[in-house]
Structure 1
Amino acid sequence: MKVLHVNAGLEAGGGLTHIVNLLKEAKKEGEDFSLLCLAEGPVARAAREAHLQVAVLGINSRYDLASLGKLAAFINNGNYDIIHTHGARANLFVSLIRRKLSAKWCVTVHSDPYLDFADRGILGKLFTAANLYALKKSDCVFAVTKNFANLLIQKAHVDRNKVHVIYNGIFFHQDSQIPAKYPEPTFNLINVARVEKVKGQELLLHALKNLDNANVHLYIAGDGSQMVALKDLVQKLDLGPQVTFQGFMTQKQLQNLYRRMDLAVLTSYSESFPLVLLEACDNLVPLLSTDVGDIKMMIPDQDSGFVAKVGDVTSITNALRKAVATPKNELEEMAIREKTYITEHFSVANQLETIIQEYQAIIKR
């Protein structure tokens, strides 16, 4: 079975990690998977660094519809059994050439399609409509949470027989491979996320202010359009000594920072199945998240982590206060329990096995 994954190529967050990890596991298992990026960017670079099969089509803008013939030729000349797209732009381009392709077509929905372009006005509405149209034309849709699957079926009216829930996974390390924790006098929080409104960092800053505990320090690892606004908010709330903006960090840099962290915090308004929390868990950092996506599959009970209401500063403050008040040895035990649970349920190997089963079923149909 020959499979081509297609992505715009500009993703720098969880989508990139998802694609590269999936193809790395496929290579390890001897599967014939390759990657096509519409444009040069972070995804192609990450794939090359992982020694994966990757090609770049060379489309220069999201409006470059003249390259559709080039895309169709690349796919048909490759004699692929499955085309698997990730992201609205790749979905749209393949939908426009669907009738020219003999391969079956699968899509992974990594995020809420109604929110992907929510802040782009009329143009955003057009992109949203085009993406939803593309999803309906595909042969199979993988949703990374049950919530997304229900949204696609009930609101977007995608055929329920096409929609399958497949949770994200990562490569987990043995505990002996994790660098030893570096004890610090402060209680350190880490938020790893793009600095965008949907990630809710302003909620976290207000909660930190409400906590009124100078011994708590927040590290924000990420970059994005809200950086200036968040730095202004830090000054307005007089939190300067308690907040450090790290900017974008590599996995190696994050792993070193995790050594000093007591709690990984995600206060997003919307998420799928956040890989950043799986990665924090792998590094034996306990978790706190708003109740987004299928987070309760990841944090199944109060012994596994802390969950707060979405968009609710008071709830986030209370969850933070509870975490800070928990003795550090109990937090360490919580992190070990959570990693044991997550390793059993959300590995890349499990993810790949389920996806291949669906590929085979689609080809048979």
Structure 2
Amino acid sequence: LSHADMAEAQGVLSVYREQTRILEKYGKEDFELSYNKLFGKYDLYHIHSVNPSFYFFTLKKRKPTIVFVHFLPDTLDGSVKLPKFAFKAFKWYVTSFYKKAKEIVVVNPSFKKELARFGINEEKITYIPNFVSRSSFFEKTKEEKIALKKEYGFPLDKKTVIAVGQVQTRKGVLDFIRTAERCPDLHFVWAGGFSFKGITDGYKELKAEMEKERPNVKFLGIQPREKMNDLYNAADIFFLPSYNELFPMALLEACNSGLPYLVRDLDLYKDILLGDYLRAKDVMGFETLLHKLAKEESFYEEAKRYSKAIADTYTEEKNYLLWKDFYTKVFEKYRQKK
């Protein structure tokens, strides 16, 4: 169950599409699938988005429901801007949604304890990571990359740094701009826009910043997902200055496309990025590491090996087996309770 397509170009929608794709690809012999149909004799309900129709119909009834947590109540801060009373009510609603689920899946193990802070029983929380398809995101040849740089108008004589995500305060857009200003010898592009339009946190300030002319910064707007592999291959470095994430799909896409990556130094990455990864705490740190990636080939190649480790770990084949095992356990658990 998902209505994530109500807002374009967001990670929740990408995760939903990836998961339904692997269930159809690998699970035809294991499961019978139905999409967005509330009425029927189903063994399990798997909910991806926190829409009221799913809450009132499914969660109010005694059905084996699984809720996939794509964001925490706290991550709403810096994402959307609502009147105080509405924002407080929405956070209460999201927390209630998660509490009423029979089972919860998180994409980052560190969020088990975060959810427990809201009174959610850790015993009903399972960790299953995100993944992306290698047939959709992969590294192209050197010749193809040069052709893509020309197609997108990226310079051939300097490195292109790409950031991907919604334009909102939480994503670190202002630090992206400040970093670009300190690195005039690099080219910076941001793929993404205001998926939630005017209620995006920081909308007016960010829109004004985006409209300023800067010689080495370009905001590309919302891009079709089928075009993103080309964009990654046209770039040289992936940059994610976000202040808060769960398990960013864009990072997985960039790793599968062969890009080295730089992220903000956040505790939440420690459990999912396998130990070795490039991170910095602030704009000065970002500037230092981006220049090192641009100028030192051995450092660049080492960073690419970190990306390959991520791509090799979070594969669709491994992910399907995790979901198959999880669905089977949940089915058996609630069948025994009938």
TM-score normalised according to structure 2 size: 0.82
Shift of 1:79: 1.0
Residues paired across the two proteins, number: 310
Going from structure 1 to structure 2, the CA distance change for 1:299 and 1:160 (only over 3 Å counts) comes to closer
Q: What are the ranges of 5 or more consecutive residues in structure 2 without an aligned counterpart?
A: 150-155, 195-199, 334-338
1:359 and 2:327 are equivalent in the alignment: yes
Who is 1:229 aligned against? 205
17-26 vs 318-327, greater mean Cα deviation: 318-327
| Contact 2:258/2:308 (8 A) holds in 1 | no
SS at match of 2:65: strand
Letter in 1 for 2:64: K
Question: What are the superposed Cα offsets for residues 137-194 of structure 1, whole Å, 9 maximum, x if unpaired?
Answer: 11100011122221001x1111111011111011114998735332710121001110
- 1:33 counterpart = 2:33: yes
Q: Which amino acid aligns with 2:48?
A: H
- Unpaired runs of 5+ residues, structure 1, are 37-73
Alignment of 1:196-235 (within 5 A): 196-209=168-181, 211=182, 213-224=183-194, 225=200, 229-230=205-206, 232-233=208-209
Q: How does 1:149-188 map to 2 (within 5 A)?
A: 149-153=112-116, 155-173=117-135, 178-179=140-141, 180-182=144-146, 184-188=156-160
Task: Tell me the amino acid that sits aligned with residue 186 of structure 1.
Answer: K
SS at match of 1:164: strand
Give the aligned residue type for 1:88.
V
1:174/1:35 CA distance change after superposition, 3 Å: closer
The residue type paired with residue 345 of structure 1 is T
Shift of the alpha carbon at 1:281? 1.1
Seen in structure 2, the aligned counterparts of structure 1 residues 235 and 340 have a Cα distance that, compared at 3 Å, is closer
For 2:328 and 2:237, the matched residues in 1 are separated by 41
Q: 1:112 to 1:325 in 2, by over 3 A?
A: farther
Closer, same or farther in 2 for the Cα pair 1:135/1:176, shift >3 Å? closer
Farther off after superposition, 253-262 or 131-140: 253-262
CA separation in 1, counterparts of 2:129 and 2:267? 11
Q: Which residue of 2 aligns with 1:275?
A: 249
1:105 to 1:176, Cα distance in 2 relative to 1, 3 A:
closer
- Match 1:295 to one of 252, 269, 286: 269
User: Could you tell me which residue of structure 2 aligns to residue 321 of structure 1?
Assistant: 291
By relative contact order (CA 8 Å, sep 6+), the higher-ranking structure is: 2
| Maintained 8 Å contact 1:142/1:164 | yes
Alignment partner of 1:112 is 2:72? yes
> What is the TM-score normalised by the length of structure 1?
0.76
**CA offsets 1:188-229 (integer angstroms, 9 cap, x no match):** 1001110111111101111222x3x32211001111145763
Cα RMSD after superposing both structures: 2.6
Residue in structure 2 matching 1:137, options 100, 105, 111: 100
- Contact 1:95–1:138, Cα closer than 8 Å, also in 2: no
Aligned to 1:192: 164
Which of 2, 16, 21 aligns to 1:19? It is: 16
1:148–1:293 Cα contact (<8 Å) kept: no
* Offset at residue 364 of structure 1 (A): 1.9
* Structure 1 contact 190–261 (Cα < 8 Å) conserved: yes
Q: Does 1:83 align with 2:53?
A: no
> Who is 1:62 aligned against?
none
1:227-259 CA-to-partner distances (Å, cap 9, x unmatched) read: 7634633677xx610101111112343222223
What secondary structure sits across from 1:246 in the alignment?
A: strand
Contact 2:171 2:241 in 1 (8 A): yes
1:265 aligns with one of 239, 242, 255? 239
1:33 CA displacement: 2.4
Greater strand share, 1 or 2?
1
